[in-house]
Structure 1
Amino acid sequence: MKTGKYLGPHMHGLCYTVIILTLILLGFGIAEAQEDLAQLAQEAYTILQNNCSVCHGEHGSFSEDLLIEYTSLMTTGTVIPGNPGDSEFYKRLIEDTPEKPRMPLGTPALSVEALGTIRRWIEVGAPNWEVEYNVNFITTDAMFTVIEDHVASLAPFDRPFARYFTLTHLYNAGESPEALRAYQRALSKLVNSLSWRFKVINPTPIDPRETIFYIDLRHYEWHVGNEAWTQIEREYPYQIDFDPETQAGLHAKLTHLRAEMDCEVPFVHVDWFLANASLPPLYHDILGLPETDRELERRLEVNVAGNLQSAPGVNVWRAGFNDSRVSNNNRVVERHTSRYGAYWKSYDFAGSSGVQDILTHPLTFKHDGGEVVFNLPNGLQAYYISDASGNRINEAPIRIVRNLAASDPVVRNGL
């Protein structure tokens, strides 16, 4: 007995075609959905990196309390996949109580869009952002070739002013594209925050994967005075050399670069530079910050005493606080006009009585140290910490000022 109708070979072929197309489209849909989840995870990770990593990153001040690392967030139950309402991490971003203040601490709340991204990421199961990336390994020889070719493209007169920063080692280690871009942005900010030139000029990527960046020392005034790159070379711990017999090719390329660029270290790692050039002593050395605040004020054409005497409300404005949340005691802050914009100067105290009581002695107080924030010619900010005599110091005494938002509350100079 027949139970169906024979469709014929053409109809069977059509059915098979429809089935195959359906499976293909279904596969595309699954792949697209997976790609969307991966993109959402990366967006969530970027938000957390930009807003939380200073305190809760691998080297953050509060990493022991909460570490922004995927496995840690999941295993501690801080994030409950599929349930943002019960996820302590999400609740701390939106709720604000005396016992549990809203995060990020001491900064504006995350935007509605950012909170929405974090919530959606948790709702869909908190997919892992720690994905492996396909890496086309960049050999040392290939990196040298890229730098050599770029140096050769420069006019001979310009070559001694060429220097390079590399992320090649991080790319080869599988760092995410988002992390590499973050390093690139941080490098751009730091080199320009160490510049006495009027124009912001970002390092230029010279390879297709954007792991090698070129700068001209003259763009930042790093070629004059204290010769900033010489200071960097002196501190850099990863200088490389090659055996002329067993590594003849690499040895020849490095020797050639050193001769063309007139330096011992043609390039440094971006991550090392960010970690070290943003703090003393290298921060002071590259910027050429003088030994006293009076010398700095002369350079910036700021006459503190003269402004206070004859130009209050014109070239200087002063305010006082007895609870600044930075100084342990009183704090006085002044804003002076300077050659390049603003010159902010604080006066901080080890006590609050006698001549250190700014309410009783608003003009004749005796301070124990201070901090300076001033504009560079390009508009970015630079920093300076001094003792009571105006001598430059690397970090402020914790008995006078502290960073209450960090588990290590020492206030250090730099970015």
Structure 2
Amino acid sequence: MYRTVCVFALLRVFVLLVVLAGKPAAANELAQQAFEVLNSRCFGCHGQRFSVPDFNIRDHEGLLAETNAYIVPGKPEESVLWQRVGIDRDMPPLKHSPKGLPAVELETIEHWIRNGAPKWDAVPERTPITESEVLRTINNYLSELNPNDVSSMRIFSLTHLHNNPTVSPAELRLYRAALSKAINAMSRGARIVVPKAINDQQTLFALDLRQVGWDGGGAWSEVLSEYPYGLAPMQDEERDLFVRIRKLYGEFEFDGIAYVRADWFAAVATNSQRNGLYHTLADIPLTLTELSQRLGIDIPANFRNGTAKRAGMSKSGVSTQNRLIEVHNQGALWISYDFKGQAGRSSLARFPLGPNFSGNVFSQFAFRHDGGEIIFELKNGLHGYMLVNSAGERINDGPIEIVFDKNLTSGNPVIVNGLSCIACHREGLQPLRDDIRDGHARRFVAAAHDKVRQLYLPKAEMDDIISDTNERFVRALEEAVGPFFEEGYDVKRNEPLSFVAAAYDRDIDITMATRELGILDQDASIQQRIRDSADIIGFGVGPLGDDDGVVKRRFWESDLDAGVSVFQRMALEFARGSSVVH
């Protein structure tokens, strides 16, 4: 019998687990690592829908059964799963993952099989949380607050992910951490604010907008204007609870939305290519000049007096051209100068003393750059980001001919302000090398040579500045995301926002669609209704009527009619709620 091991790659990979290197991990740790990969990649097809009869990816004993040979302990090359995933590479199906499983996940699976395929811990079944329970929890929480504080409180929800059996406990921890990191990465406040879990399952989180500086100026209203999942309940019990929540906020204070999805907020609000929320919430100004003035830093003066410090490199991880990094005030502000080419005044070796500005006495040796990335310290210790053009004007994303994101954090190589920068700088500033201090072409012009030596630091000195900067950053990062991870988890290496961004943008199957709509354990009947309804098919969601059918996330949240998203129209069709549009 032809055995098919269909491994759905619905996520663009996030490295959930540390790369296996050196001595083997303990058997239990290795088993859990393998489980996380198999569960996230396979369970939707082999456990949720059973595309191959009786093949359940969570059934360790069944995987190792001799009659199936899905897994032959110690022999990956004889294991059907590995043959399809790691050797033939015809699974995952091309339509879901053209590049197959990422190398780190393949290494995890092969390592697990080769070391005897040890058994993982049993996965406890999660009890689904109904919409009524969600609204009741929110109502009870708000009822206990000082009435003067209610209007500033907002709720985030991960309930639809908790209710989705394909989402593992480890992934839920990443979602929680990503929410906290997103909030604090855009905060205007002076300290780290960890959102408060208001239920035992840790699927509902409260945030006081005043603590992050989003309580004035229409910042939160702008968030809701982009939100495609707002609903007013239609079922009696849910509607009654919704009315109570509205009364607690006050008729004129309530914005019509009881909670915002945490995955949407983390993935979308941080992505400046999708909307302007990152710039709004983090209060990123329109120009580098305005930002430096806010920080009390005089960039030209620091060049003239030599307190600006630099490292210039022939190429970097985000560009094939040369690149210059400049730091001000011992790490308060970092500026990259980026170039389209390396000829003429784009060459740092020949023109190391730019940019040209009024008062630059070395203008004949000044480079001409094409744009840059700005990193600056937020009040809470994390970093804010800004991309600019050659004139220092804020832009949403970096031109691909200048810089690129090799990690495809936003789903493509474009570096988008916010998300791409947060993911890349997961540990703070990247290590820098310098090719200019001892390699520039102006060594025979005494004044220029001395200026280069003043600005371009020896590596050890730049390393010290980076170390101090990153120490402050990591302290804040651990405070923001550490509470959501188990002891010993490396918060620097494992970046939750990039995982959530990839997870959020994956194709939507029937299980994901129903859980997002708040419909539990009715996938087959919902599929039948989709197939039978010309109106629903007319929304463009007909593929969800098929067992392996999917729709794109961008389509699911797109405007179907008069500001109403496809999701909201589906919610109305299945009596889950009427749309709330801002």
Q: Distance in 2 between matches of 1:332 and 1:194?
A: 26
CA contact (8 A) 1:84 1:90 kept: no
Q: Distance in 2 between matches of 1:234 and 1:394?
A: 19
Shift in Å, 1:247? 6.3
Which residue number corresponds to residue 474 of structure 2? none
Question: Partner amino acid for 2:289?
Answer: R
Q: Structure 1, residues 124-148: CA drift from partner, whole Å, max 9, x if none? A: 337689x875232222121111111
CA contact (8 A) 1:40 1:121 kept: no
1:353 aligns with 2:348: no
Q: Which moved more, 1:170-179 or 1:273-282?
A: 170-179
Alignment CA distance shift 1:81-1:384 (3 Å) = farther
Which residue number corresponds to residue 159 of structure 1? 150
Which residue number corresponds to residue 27 of structure 1? none
The unaligned stretches of length 5 or more in structure 2 are 1-25, 45-56, 64-69, 88-100, 354-365, 420-582
Q: Distance in 1 between matches of 2:244 and 2:31?
A: 42
CA contact (8 A) 2:398 2:416 kept: yes
Secondary structure of the residue aligned to 1:158 is: helix
Alignment CA distance shift 1:248-1:159 (3 Å) = closer
1:296 aligns with 2:291: yes
CA contact (8 A) 1:328 1:399 kept: no
Q: Distance in 2 between matches of 1:198 and 1:247?
A: 38
Alignment CA distance shift 1:80-1:328 (3 Å) = farther
Secondary structure of the residue aligned to 2:231 is: coil
Which residue number corresponds to residue 210 of structure 2? 218
Indicate which of 278, 283, 290 corresponds to 1:283: 278
Shift in Å, 1:193? 0.8
Q: Distance in 1 between matches of 2:376 and 2:184?
A: 14
Question: Partner amino acid for 1:278?
Answer: T
CA RMSD of aligned residues (A): 3.7
Shift in Å, 1:372? 0.9
Alignment CA distance shift 1:121-1:80 (3 Å) = closer
TM-score w.r.t. the length of structure 1 is 0.70
Q: Distance in 2 between matches of 1:198 and 1:38?
A: 41
Q: Distance in 2 between matches of 1:80 and 1:143?
A: 41
Q: Distance in 1 between matches of 2:412 and 2:261?
A: 26
1:380 aligns with 2:370: no
Alignment CA distance shift 1:182-1:351 (3 Å) = same
Question: Partner amino acid for 1:159?
Answer: V
Which residue number corresponds to residue 415 of structure 2? 411
Q: Distance in 2 between matches of 1:127 and 1:402?
A: 41
Q: Distance in 2 between matches of 1:118 and 1:343?
A: 44
* Aligned residues with identical type, % of pairs: 33
Q: Structure 1, residues 261-318: CA drift from partner, whole Å, max 9, x if none? A: 64332310111111101211221121121111111111122211111111x2x4x211
Question: Partner amino acid for 1:151?
Answer: L
Q: Distance in 1 between matches of 2:28 and 2:248?
A: 41
Indicate which of 137, 143, 147 corresponds to 2:134: 143
Shift in Å, 1:84? 6.9
Q: Distance in 2 between matches of 1:267 and 1:346?
A: 39
Alignment CA distance shift 1:104-1:246 (3 Å) = closer
Secondary structure of the residue aligned to 2:349 is: coil
Which residue number corresponds to residue 259 of structure 1? 250
Q: Distance in 1 between matches of 2:347 and 2:318?
A: 17
Shift in Å, 1:163? 0.7
CA contact (8 A) 1:403 1:411 kept: yes
1:188 aligns with 2:175: no
Shift in Å, 1:350? 1.2
Q: Which moved more, 1:242-251 or 1:347-356?
A: 242-251
Question: Partner amino acid for 2:260?
Answer: V
CA contact (8 A) 1:328 1:350 kept: no
Q: Distance in 2 between matches of 1:242 and 1:164?
A: 16
Q: Distance in 2 between matches of 1:317 and 1:347?
A: 13
Secondary structure of the residue aligned to 1:157 is: helix
Which residue number corresponds to residue 16 of structure 1? none
Shift in Å, 1:169? 1.4
Shift in Å, 1:331? 1.0
TM-score w.r.t. the length of structure 2 is 0.51
Which residue number corresponds to residue 565 of structure 2? none
Query: Which protein has the larger Cα radius of gyration, Structure 1 or Structure 2?
Result: 1
Q: Distance in 1 between matches of 2:188 and 2:346?
A: 36
Indicate which of 142, 159, 177 corresponds to 2:169: 177
CA contact (8 A) 1:244 1:251 kept: no
Which residue number corresponds to residue 235 of structure 1? 226
Q: Distance in 2 between matches of 1:116 and 1:268?
A: 35
Shift in Å, 1:326? 1.8
Q: Distance in 2 between matches of 1:390 and 1:154?
A: 45
Q: Which moved more, 1:326-335 or 1:201-210?
A: 326-335
Alignment CA distance shift 1:327-1:201 (3 Å) = same
Q: Distance in 1 between matches of 2:235 and 2:147?
A: 26
1:337 aligns with 2:332: no
Q: Distance in 2 between matches of 1:350 and 1:160?
A: 49
Q: Distance in 2 between matches of 1:352 and 1:39?
A: 48
CA contact (8 A) 2:31 2:112 kept: no
Which fold has the larger relative contact order, with Cα–Cα distance below 8 Å and residues 6 or more apart in sequence?
2
CA contact (8 A) 2:36 2:168 kept: no
Which residue number corresponds to residue 8 of structure 2? none
Alignment CA distance shift 1:240-1:122 (3 Å) = farther
Secondary structure of the residue aligned to 2:172 is: helix
Alignment CA distance shift 1:180-1:373 (3 Å) = same
1:397 aligns with 2:399: yes
Q: Distance in 2 between matches of 1:48 and 1:380?
A: 34
Alignment CA distance shift 1:384-1:163 (3 Å) = same
Which residue number corresponds to residue 366 of structure 1? 368
